[in-house]
Chains A and B, each alone.
Chain A
């Protein structure tokens, strides 16, 4: 039973390029969360998605960042025109519907994608 799969694990982009990070949730999980971890800091919530629906994007920067979770395929976090400050680890997590006894209100993390902007 595969866990949360993220790819690529490491991505290097030049300033101004686009970065696409992919996340496949655990089997049976319909909810995906993206978190960002800047160097030497904790994880900051970015966005929470269901299939074809953004539930909460209150942590997403207003510009250049977008996320989707299509009906088929992985969730994508897209960063356009990257800048050096975007260099960070981006973690995806998944869960069943939270607030139910099935989930235990626990989310499970992938191994992260490390974006380096040069």
Chain B
């Protein structure tokens, strides 16, 4: 069974600084997708960034980038130039592709990030 581990329950960063959130996962699959979702105080789940496992190039979305290490099964999120609006829970998620038609996301337990003014 696939598992997703986020080992940092809470983190804080000064505004304008850079922070990295870690995520590791366990799977025997070769084709899969990885995601970072953000859950601000409003509790809505917002997609931050997505990575396809078959792509070697790390995904980037503006101030957000990932460090995808497939062999190490690691998928960390780097937030550059942190802003107060980045304060949120961040969830790492794994989804495997399937020929059986069954797809589901497996989520980590989350990292609570606080950006300090």
> Which of B11-19, B42-50, B68-76, B77-85 is found at the contact surface with chain A?
B42-50
CA gap between A99 and B104 in the complex, in Å: 11
- Report the minimal beta-carbon distance from A7 to chain B, rounded to whole angstroms: 14
A111-B104 contact given A42-B109, A105-B97, CB 8 Å threshold: no
- Report the minimal beta-carbon distance from A87 to chain B, rounded to whole angstroms: 14
Residues of B within 8 A of A82 (CB): none
Specify the chain B residue showing the minimal Cβ separation from A103.
Answer: B103
Interface bits B88-117 vs A (CB < 8 Å: 1, else 0): 000100010110011111111110000000
CA gap between A33 and B105 in the complex, in Å: 10
Q: Are A109 and B45 closer than 8 Å at their CB atoms?
A: yes
Q: Are B42 and A111 closer than 8 Å at their CB atoms?
A: yes
Q: Are B103 and A105 closer than 8 Å at their CB atoms?
A: yes
- A48 in the interface (beta carbon within 8 A): yes
Q: Are B104 and A91 closer than 8 Å at their CB atoms?
A: no
- Report the minimal beta-carbon distance from B21 to chain A, rounded to whole angstroms: 14
Q: Are A42 and B107 closer than 8 Å at their CB atoms?
A: yes
Which listed residue (B43, B46, B101, B108) contacts A55, Cβ 8 A?
A: B101
- A17 in the interface (beta carbon within 8 A): no
- Report the minimal beta-carbon distance from A36 to chain B, rounded to whole angstroms: 11
- A89 in the interface (beta carbon within 8 A): yes
Interface residues on B, range: 20 to 34
Which chain A residues numbered 99 to 118 have a C-beta less than 8 Å away from chain B?
99, 104-109, 111-112, 114
Consensus secondary structure, chain A interface: strand
Residues of A within 8 A of B35 (CB): 106
CA gap between A111 and B106 in the complex, in Å: 19
- Report the minimal beta-carbon distance from B4 to chain A, rounded to whole angstroms: 8
19 contacts between A and B (CB under 8 A): A35-B105, A42-B108, A42-B109, A45-B105, A48-B102, A48-B103, A55-B102, A99-B98, A104-B50, A105-B50, A105-B103, A106-B35, A106-B47, A107-B105, A108-B47, A109-B44, A109-B45, A112-B43, A112-B44
Q: Please give the residue numbers on chain A whose beta carbons come within 8 Å of chain B beta carbons, in ascending order.
A: 33, 35, 41-45, 48, 55-56, 59, 89, 91, 93, 98-99, 104-109, 111-112, 114
Q: Please give the residue numbers on chain B whose beta carbons come within 8 Å of chain A beta carbons, in ascending order.
A: 33, 35, 37, 42-47, 50, 52, 91, 95, 97-98, 101-110
